[in-house]
Chain A
Amino acid sequence: DAGVIQSPRHEVTEMGQEVTLRCKPISGHNSLFWYRQTMMRGLELLIYFNNNVPIDDSGMPEDRFSAKMPNASFSTLKIQPSEPRDSAVYFCASSFGINLQETQYFGPGTRLLVL
Chain B
Amino acid sequence: AQTVTQSQPEMSVQEAETVTLSCTYDTSESDYYLFWYKQPPSRQMILVIRQEAYKQQNATENRFSVNFQKAAKSFSLKISDSQLGDAAMYFCACSIQGAQKLVFGQGTRLTINP
Q: Which residues of B contact A (CB under 8 A)?
A: 31-33, 35, 37, 42-47, 50, 52, 91, 95-97, 100-102, 104-107
- Report the interface size for chain A: residues with CB under 8 A from the other chain: 22
Count A/B pairs, Cβ under 8 Å. Answer: 47
Contact of B43 among A33, A99, A105, A108 (CB under 8 A): A108
Q: In the complex the two chains form, is A98's CB within 8 Å of B100's CB?
A: yes
| Contact residues of B: prevailing secondary structure | strand
Q: How far is the CB of B51 from chain A (nearest CB, A)?
A: 11
Residue of B nearest to A31 (CB): B100
A-B contact pairs, 20 of them (CB 8 A): A33-B102, A42-B105, A42-B106, A43-B91, A48-B101, A89-B43, A98-B100, A99-B100, A100-B31, A100-B33, A100-B95, A100-B97, A101-B52, A104-B102, A105-B47, A106-B45, A107-B44, A108-B43, A109-B43, A109-B45
A13 CA / B46 CA spacing, docked (Å):
28
Q: Which residues of A contact B (CB under 8 A)?
A: 33, 42-43, 45, 48, 55-56, 89, 91, 93, 98-101, 103-109, 111
Q: In the complex the two chains form, is B100's CB within 8 Å of A55's CB?
A: yes
Known: A91-B45, A101-B33, A111-B43. Contact between A45 and B91, CB under 8 A?
Answer: no
Question: Which chain B residues border A55 with CB–CB below 8 Å?
Answer: 100
A27 CA / B107 CA spacing, docked (Å):
29
Q: How far is the CB of A109 from chain B (nearest CB, A)?
A: 5
Question: Which chain B residues border A106 with CB–CB below 8 Å?
Answer: 37, 44-46
A111 CA / B104 CA spacing, docked (Å):
19
